Chains A and B, each alone.
Chain A
């Protein structure tokens, strides 16, 4: 339904996304064939970049050690920007930036408590990540089971070959 991007402008793109995602083959082709459409192509890219799903946003947010540290801190209880900045080497604006990324990824919620806006962990934001990891784990688990069975069979036959008398 909402397949488009500035549509989701309230939910802005993360600054953490690799710049490579702007520069897909489609972009290069277009830029070459229609150089005058600079703005349109740029906006098209923005759209493509913006169309990331909750899982991508969560992983992108988690990819940064500072943000993981913030999440770990918030696991012990809610905290404001000032508090988080004091506990780290970062400035308050930097913390705010990271919090915004975490907020957009749904990993952190910020209450409106007058001027103060304490951040708190929003575990449900991790659900897509957890589901993905579970799926990946199940897949790998069954593959490893098959590998194990395969290796076991191979070892037996190797042993059989090496010791034909057994």
Chain B
């Protein structure tokens, strides 16, 4: 249970499940793309409501890595909090059309908890951006219960992005 796990090769493994989220954002594809790749902007919107991203590191090149820290809302009892960063490698960087990266839940103690592939496409539409985010999950899967909240989490997170872009 505690032995370090070998990172999943998310490009060759076949996904067990895929989550697709579509969202229309009133900002140009360039702005939305940058919000996904600029560490200073990521810190302002990544993670769902109440969570914060106190640190973001981005090495924006194919094969480069990123890491986004996670901090829980204060109102959640601290004994129930567990933090894991989201990190991974960039596989495709095609500004402002497409961004593909792995999304790995990383924990200092145990390394990779689970791995996903995140594919985001940014399509110019009506002066804004039609965003499609596809997250693929692989064995070993996150808990079924965790999966059931993923959509809610993304939705809250994209709400934050939407507000940020409206500013």
A residues whose Cβ falls under 8 Å from a Cβ of B: 2-13, 15, 26, 30, 33-34, 36-44, 46-50
**Is there a chain A Cβ closer than 8 Å to B76's Cβ?**
yes
B51: A residues at CB distance < 8 A: 39-40
For residues 67 through 109 of chain B, which have their beta carbon under 8 Å from a beta carbon of chain A?
A: 72-73, 75-77, 79-82, 84, 105, 107, 109
Complex interface bits, B1-32 against A, C-beta within 8 A gives 1, otherwise 0? 11001000000000000000000000000000
Residues of chain B within 8 A (CB-CB) of A40 are 48-51, 72-73, 76
- Write out the residue numbers on chain B whose beta carbons fall within 8 Å of the beta carbon of A2: 2, 109
Nearest-neighbor residue (CB-CB) of B149 within chain A:
A42
Flag whether B146 is at the interface (Cβ < 8 A): yes
Complex CA distance for A15 and B141, rounded to whole angstroms: 14
Residue contact A37 to B50, C-beta cutoff 8 Å: yes
A sample of 6 inter-chain contacts (CB < 8 A) reads A8-B1, A10-B113, A10-B140, A30-B75, A34-B75, A39-B153
On chain A, the residues within 8 Å of B48 by CB distance are 38-40
* Docked-complex contact A39 and B82, CB < 8 angstroms: no
Alpha-carbon gap, A13 to B147, bound state (A): 12
Q: B residues engaging A (CB < 8 A)?
A: 1-2, 5, 48-51, 72-73, 75-77, 79-82, 84, 105, 107, 109-110, 113-114, 140-146, 149, 152-153, 156
Q: Decide: B107 and A6 in contact? CB cutoff 8 A.
A: yes
Contacts of B156 in A (CB 8 A): 38-39
Cα separation A44 to B105 with both chains bound (whole Å): 17
A30 to B76, CA, bound (A): 8
**A-B CB proximity, top 7 nearest:** A4-B82, A39-B48, A12-B143, A9-B113, A40-B50, A37-B50, A39-B153
Q: Which of A11, A39, A47 contacts B81 (CB 8 A)?
A: A47
Per the bound structure, the CA–CA distance linking A50 and B80 in Å amounts to: 10
Interface centre among A33, A40, A47 (most CB of B within 10 A): A40
Bound form: Cα–Cα A155–B113 in Å: 64
Give the docked Cα–Cα distance between A50 and B152 (Å): 19
Is A44 in contact with B113, judged by CB distance below 8 angstroms?
no
> How far is it, in angstroms, between the C-alpha of A3 and the C-alpha of B75 when the chains are bound?
18
B146 touching A6, Cβ below 8 Å:
yes
Least CB distance, B56 to chain A, in whole angstroms: 19
- Contact between chains at B5 and A6 (CB < 8 Å): no
Closest to A43 in B: B149
Q: Please, which residues of chain B bring their CB within 8 A of the CB of A48?
A: 80
Given A26-B77, A30-B76, A40-B50: A7 and B149 interface contact (C-beta under 8 Å): no
Contact status of A46 and B149, CB under 8 A, knowing A2-B109, A10-B140, A40-B76: yes
Residues of B within 8 A of A33 (CB): 75
A11-B1, A12-B144 as given contacts; A44 in contact with B49, CB under 8 Å: no
A36–B50 contact, CB under 8 A? yes
Shortest CB–CB separation between residue A56 and chain B, in angstroms? 16
- Given A8-B1, A10-B5, is A37 in contact with B73 using a C-beta cutoff of 8 Å? yes
In the complex, A50 Cα to B146 Cα: how many Å? 10
| Closest A residue, CB atoms, query B84 | A6
With A10-B1, A38-B156, A40-B49: A47-B73 Cβ-Cβ less than 8 Å: no
